[in-house]
Amino acid sequence: MVEPTIVLSLGTAALMGACATIAGAAEDLESDFGSQSNANSQVQLAPQVGYLHRYYNKAVSGEPVAYGFLCCTGAAIALALMMAFKVNPVIALAFGALAASLMYGVYATTAYMGRLTGQKRFGQPIYLDILLTTTPAIIAHAFIAAMAIGTFSYLMNWILGQPFPFPILAMLWGVIVGGMGSAVGDVHYGAEREYQNKPFGMGLPAAQSGKIVQKGEAGLRNSIDVAGYCVKHGGPLTGFGLGITVFSDAWREILFTQYWNGWGAMVAGLLLVLIWVIFNRILEMWTRKNYPAYKAAEE
């Protein structure tokens, strides 16, 4: 623990927000590399309805669980290294995140091979080049996410004085970033490209399940193309979502804890949520009014 002053605490909150933004963006892109979230069931279903493809199929588990174990493992190993060898926290966090993301990559490869072997009768081959080019990208993005989340969990414990040990904080934030990537990032993955030949806003009828987009602008489409596409909106928006959550949460806690015996922070949080809900509702109504269901150009 260092002696917290309000300036130091607010600076830490800003740094944590920045880390969270990076973590969120990396998380969303990583899940796109592996077709982990929304599209995973479609990618898996596609061979069964005759659509062979070159997508990576990473069924480690849902995104929240996957990020829970990735981040808490990285943080725990960092803690052990800090204690055992008195390593600098930054280096320890990097080593922890490296070990955890390598483990994550191994899980991704076994899942890719396992899922395709489990349905070999549908004729989907295992492409080794997909395995060898996509897995390093998965590991790299998982490393960035694990490192960023480990770092801001450590800051939360060390400077803001959050009483939980930081591997537990990392697990909680990992689950949160996974949930957020599922909710925010998916909109840009699933709804726009993967199901592009369906009318806007119609959802996915059962009859069209598994009809994924096989061909891209240059040859066959694969998971790396998807990430290249999502880097424009899905990744940054997920990062923005997590960053603003972490920052506004730390900010209201630092500034308002001193009032009403700690209840000030609670009231500020409640007000913040209220403002957010109202703002979202206004935005939604405005969007629905200005962008209604898709219409063909009039003759």
Q: Which residues bind another protein (CB under 8 A)?
A: 41, 50, 52-54, 59-62, 65, 68-69, 72-73, 75-77, 79-81, 83-85, 99-100, 103, 106-107, 110-111, 113-121, 123, 125-129, 164-171, 214, 219-220
Q: Are 247 and 20 in contact (CB under 8 A)?
A: yes
Q: Which is nearer to another protein, 75 or 237 (CB)?
A: 75
Least Å distance between CB 268 and another protein? 28
Least Å distance between CB 110 and another protein? 6
Question: How many Å apart are CA 30 and CA 156, to the nearest integer?
Answer: 25
Q: Which is nearer to another protein, 78 or 144 (CB)?
A: 78
Q: Which is nearer to another protein, 64 or 264 (CB)?
A: 64
Name, in order, each residue with C-beta under 8 angstroms of 165's C-beta and a sequence gap of 6 or more: 79, 157
Least Å distance between CB 240 and another protein? 26
**What dihedral angle (degrees, nearest 10) is formed by the CA atoms of 87, 92, 98, 104?**
130
Question: How many Å apart are CA 66 and CA 115, to the nearest integer?
Answer: 17
Question: How many Å apart are CA 164 and CA 104, to the nearest integer?
Answer: 25
Q: Which is nearer to another protein, 153 or 238 (CB)?
A: 153
Q: Which is nearer to another protein, 219 or 296 (CB)?
A: 219
Specify the DSSP element, H or E, that contains 48.
Answer: none
Cα–Cα distances in Å, from 216 out to 57, 83, 193, 219, 229?
A: 18, 50, 10, 6, 11
Least Å distance between CB 272 and another protein? 27
Q: Which is nearer to another protein, 83 or 91 (CB)?
A: 83
Cα–Cα distances in Å, from 282 out to 2, 139, 288?
A: 43, 39, 10
Amino acid (1-letter code) at residue 47: P
Least Å distance between CB 54 and another protein? 7
Least Å distance between CB 214 and another protein? 7
Q: Which is nearer to another protein, 167 or 239 (CB)?
A: 167
Sign of CA dihedral 60, 63, 66, 67: positive
Least Å distance between CB 89 and another protein? 14
Name, in order, each residue with C-beta under 8 angstroms of 104's C-beta and a sequence gap of 6 or more: 60, 66, 69, 70, 138, 139, 142, 146
Least Å distance between CB 86 and another protein? 9
Q: Which is nearer to another protein, 167 or 235 (CB)?
A: 167
